């Protein structure tokens, strides 16, 4: 139903792994649509991007696969840190 609601087709799905770093385009999308929660699960955003996400009023949820990532997330304002490890 989402394809129809947004006027998309399967051909609109980008090829590749789909795990792109959070970049200026993704940030612009967050700033435009202002979702209530933004999550990061494959790498950490640049600190200035994270602050701009927080400025939209969104909660930030992120996975941390190391103690260092968890500490960084806490120090940079993440609302939820998900401990994820093998």
DSSP type of residue 49: H
Q: At what angle do helices 24-33 and 47-55 cross, to 10 degrees?
A: 10
Q: In a structure prediction context, what are the per-residue pLDDT tens digits for the chain, which is 86 residues long?
A: 888 888 888 888 777 766 788 999 999 999 999 999 999 988 899 999 999 999 999 999 999 999 999 999 999 999 999 999 77
The CATH number that applies at residue 30 is 3.40.50.720
Report yes or no on 3 lying in a domain: no
Q: What is the rounded end-to-end Cα distance, in angstroms, of the chain?
A: 36
C-beta neighbour count of 23 within 10 angstroms? 11
The domain in which residue 71 lies consists of: 15-83
Answer yes or no: is 5 within a domain.
no
Is the residue at 2 inside a domain? no
pTM: 0.76
Number of domains in the chain: 1
23-26 contacts, C-beta under 8 A, 24 or more apart = 24/49
- Separation between Cα atoms, residue 45 and residue 52, nearest integer Å: 11
């Amino acid at each position: 139903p989402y394809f129809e609601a947004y006027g998309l087709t399967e051909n609109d799905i980008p090829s590749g792994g789909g795990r792109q770093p959070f970049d200026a385009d993704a940030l612009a999308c967050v700033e435009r649509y202002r979702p209530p929660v933004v999550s990061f699960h494959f790498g950490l955003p640049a600190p200035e991007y994270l602050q701009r996400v927080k400025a939209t009023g969104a909660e930030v949820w992120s996975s941390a696969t190391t103690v260092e990532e968890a500490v960084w997330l806490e120090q940079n304002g993440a609302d939820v840190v998900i401990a994820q490890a093998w």
